[in-house]
């Protein structure tokens, strides 16, 4: 297996050597971001043994699903563009099927088949952050007319085919969640019961931090380095946030975020940040993206995706959240009064 350039592996042994009652922390780099691992209740040797397992898990996801550098995904997309079927491994087919399920549940607001649209906007390249004019309306209309969705993907007996050549798969909307789930599964196979995997601020936690839950800070989308809220999580929960501050470029003073509404072909603007809690990291990741796109209609999409813990900030600064999230989250600014919205059954 090709190894990612993991530049740094550090175990900070917060406790004394041999003491298994404190947290151990590892930091390394993959996916172009820092990945933090916190383990509780393990000895030094067990902590060190997790590095190879986690590296393998993150390597596998990155090498399989990179959207523009050579990968399994680019080979699949080349075959789709050429109108050719392609053999896929069972684990690859399982992820694509999972993505199709999330897309269906989100009413295609999470649309992993929209890779060409993100390509048109310049987000499938290493210099995505550079200033540039937005794409022409004509190029957006071409994509809207073709209307690629995951419904155009068909997998049978290990063979993938598509009846829409404009489909280009891209899993940026839940690749981090998929990687975190894989990493947690790797830890569980090592019988590690208390841990956090945090990739660029999105995470999944299992167990607890001794006799207390894990407490997580949620970034404020408009205050550099500031926190909007904290949330206590216990047992097995994932916390994922999508927002317009994560990836964007500016042109002539206007910000163009990377979360694009597949109904219009333009970046979503009603909501600037959504945080979701769910056990499964991949579903939480996909849901956070879909709910940013959904705008004011987010309660109905949340219900459709099986999500009951949601907090979002609208473009006007108003915070909204579900009753379940209100029980678990604490806003940093106590003067802010969140709007509580019930999940709407589809």
Instruction: Give the pLDDT confidence score for residue 227 in this predicted structure.
Output: 92
Give the domain CATH number at 300: 3.10.520.10
Residue 167 within any structural domain of the chain: no
Is 331 found in the same domain as 274? yes
Is 313 found in the same domain as 227? yes
Tokens of residue 67, six digits: 């959207």
Q: Is 200 annotated as a binding residue?
A: no
- Nearest-CA neighbor of 244 among 144, 315, 147, 152? 315
Is 233 found in the same domain as 298? yes
Give the domain CATH number at 103: 1.10.3980.10
Residues of the chain with pLDDT under 70: 1-22, 30-32, 345-346
Residue with tokens 């898990």: 57
Q: Is 289 annotated as a binding residue?
A: yes
Q: What total of structural domains would you count in the chain?
A: 3
- The parent domain of residue 61 ranges over 1-65+174-212
pLDDT digits (tens, 9 = 90+) for 196-231: 999 888 999 998 877 788 888 999 998 888 899 999
Residue 168 within any structural domain of the chain: no
Handedness of CA 200, 260, 228, 106 (dihedral sign): negative
Is 282 found in the same domain as 316? yes
Is 341 found in the same domain as 255? yes
Q: Is 178 annotated as a binding residue?
A: no
Tokens of residue 189, six digits: 């196979």
Instruction: Give the pLDDT confidence score for residue 332 in this predicted structure.
Output: 92
Give the pTM: 0.88
Instruction: Give the pLDDT confidence score for residue 40 in this predicted structure.
Output: 86
> Distance between CA atoms of 227 and 215, rounded to whole angstroms?
13
The beta-carbon contacts of 87-90 under 8 Å, at least 24 apart in sequence, are 87/158, 87/159, 87/160, 88/155, 88/158, 88/159, 88/160, 89/158, 90/158
Is 336 found in the same domain as 268? yes
Is 223 found in the same domain as 284? yes
Is 60 found in the same domain as 187? yes
Residue 169 within any structural domain of the chain: no
> Distance between CA atoms of 271 and 219, rounded to whole angstroms?
15
Is 228 found in the same domain as 152? no
Instruction: Give the pLDDT confidence score for residue 21 in this predicted structure.
Output: 56
Is 208 found in the same domain as 231? no
Instruction: Give the pLDDT confidence score for residue 8 in this predicted structure.
Output: 33
């Amino acid at each position: 297996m090709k190894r990612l350039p993991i530049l740094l592996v550090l175990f900070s042994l917060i406790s004394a050597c041999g003491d298994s009652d404190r947290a151990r922390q590892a930091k390394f780099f993959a996916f172009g971001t820092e990945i933090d691992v916190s383990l509780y209740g393990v000895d030094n040797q067990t902590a060190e043994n997790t590095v190879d397992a986690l590296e393998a898990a993150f390597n596998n996801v990155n090498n399989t699903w990179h959207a523009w550098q050579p990968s399994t995904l680019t080979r699949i997309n080349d075959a789709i563009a050429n109108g050719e079927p392609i053999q896929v491994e069972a684990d690859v087919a399982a992820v694509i099927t999972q993505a199709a399920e999330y897309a269906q549940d989100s009413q295609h607001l999470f649309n992993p088949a929209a890779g060409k649209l993100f390509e048109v906007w310049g987000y499938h390249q290493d210099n995505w952050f550079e200033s540039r004019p937005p794409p022409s309306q004509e190029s957006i209309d071409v994509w809207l007319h073709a209307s690629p969705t995951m419904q155009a993907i068909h997998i049978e007996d290990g063979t993938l085919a598509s009846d829409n050549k404009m489909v280009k798969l891209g899993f940026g909307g839940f690749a981090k969640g998929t990687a975190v789930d894989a990493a947690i599964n790797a830890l569980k196979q090592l019988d590690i019961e208390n841990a956090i995997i945090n990739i660029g601020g999105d995470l999944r936690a299992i167990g607890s931090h001794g006799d207390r839950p894990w407490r997580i800070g949620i970034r404020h989308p408009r205050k550099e380095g500031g926190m909007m809220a904290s949330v206590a999580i216990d047992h097995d929960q994932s916390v994922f946030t999508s927002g317009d501050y994560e990836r964007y470029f500016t042109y002539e003073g206007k910000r163009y975020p990377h979360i694009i509404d597949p109904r219009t072909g333009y970046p979503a603007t009603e909501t600037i940040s959504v945080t979701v809690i769910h056990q499964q990291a991949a579903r939480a990741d996909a849901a956070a993206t879909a709910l940013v796109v959904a705008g004011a209609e987010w309660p109905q999409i949340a219900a459709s995706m099986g999500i009951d813990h949601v907090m979002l900030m609208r473009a006007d600064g108003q915070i909204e959240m579900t009753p379940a999230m209100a029980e678990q989250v604490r806003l940093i600014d106590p003067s802010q009064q969140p709007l509580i919205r019930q999940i709407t059954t589809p």
